[in-house]
Amino acid sequence: MIGKLKGTIDEIGDDHVILDVHGVGYVAFCPARTLSRLGSPGEAAVLFIETYVREDQLRLFGFLTALEREWFRLLQSVQGVGSKVALGVLSTLTPGELANAIALQDKTAVSRAPGVGPKVAVRILTELRNKAPAFAGEASGAIGLKQEIGEGAASAPVTDAVSALTNLGYSRDQAANAIAAALKNGGEGADSARLIRLGLKELSR
């Protein structure tokens, strides 16, 4: 099994990179986000690798972080999600954005990924709901509150404040992040009006 490759970029294609490791060129299929953040041919690069061995082929999938690789594995535990769809999701959303979308049960965000229809999006949101917090990465700070919002379990002031901010044109994720920060500053007992004021202050920074 190959878990990691460190070498020189030989070529970058539409869906893959060829990484030269001591004279051997490894073809690794990658999300578009990974390919866009790699350097140019001739530059050094490190990829976290997921190795797939089939009867008739050996395929490598490359990611810039171990967290992206974990999400690639996790997504494929969902019925109807294979490697192509998983790459499409990770091409569209960062691990943090994906964790947030699952916590908020945001079908629209997940459906933006190529190959993800409404039914598959719902399955991703449903089947990964309890697993997402452990893979939230930089989004882990507010993931608990976002889950409460997504499941309709948040308090009335929080729900009203998030709703007010989304009505002003902010995304649910932006609104939830702002209200999470507002709760830290305003305290758990703050009413919706105070949370909205503090949330707007956060968003204006």
CATH code (residue 125):
1.10.150.20
What pLDDT is attached to residue 146?
63
Spatial CA neighbour of 91 closest among 57, 68, 120, 108:
68
Domain end call among 145, 176, 191: 145
The pair of three-digit structure tokens given for residue 32, joined into one six-digit string = 């578009």
Q: Which domain holds residue 198?
A: 154-203
Is residue 128 located within the same domain as residue 74?
A: yes
Give, as one character, the DSSP assignment of residue 63: E
CATH code (residue 197):
1.10.8
CB 108 within 8 A of CB 114: no
Is residue 166 located within the same domain as residue 139?
A: no
Is residue 74 located within the same domain as residue 137?
A: yes
What pLDDT is attached to residue 86?
95
Is residue 58 located within the same domain as residue 74?
A: no
Spatial CA neighbour of 91 closest among 29, 37, 32, 47:
32
pLDDT tens string, the chain, 205 residues long: the values are: 788 999 999 999 999 999 999 999 999 999 999 999 998 999 999 999 999 988 778 899 999 999 899 999 999 999 889 999 999 999 999 888 888 888 888 888 899 998 898 899 999 998 988 777 666 555 555 566 666 666 565 667 677 777 787 787 777 777 777 777 777 766 666 677 777 777 777 777 7
Total domains in the chain come to 3
What pLDDT is attached to residue 35?
94
Domain end call among 63, 89, 104: 63
Is residue 48 located within the same domain as residue 110?
A: no
Is residue 36 located within the same domain as residue 106?
A: no
What pLDDT is attached to residue 82?
92
Is residue 135 located within the same domain as residue 180?
A: no
> Using CA atoms, how far apart are residues 149 and 57, in angstroms rounded to an integer?
44
Say whether pTM exceeds 0.75. no
CB 83 within 8 A of CB 101: no
Is residue 132 located within the same domain as residue 163?
A: no
Is residue 70 located within the same domain as residue 140?
A: yes
Is residue 78 located within the same domain as residue 13?
A: no
Q: How many Å is the Cα radius of gyration of the chain?
A: 20
Domain end call among 16, 42, 63: 63
What pLDDT is attached to residue 201?
72
Is residue 44 located within the same domain as residue 76?
A: no
Is residue 139 located within the same domain as residue 169?
A: no
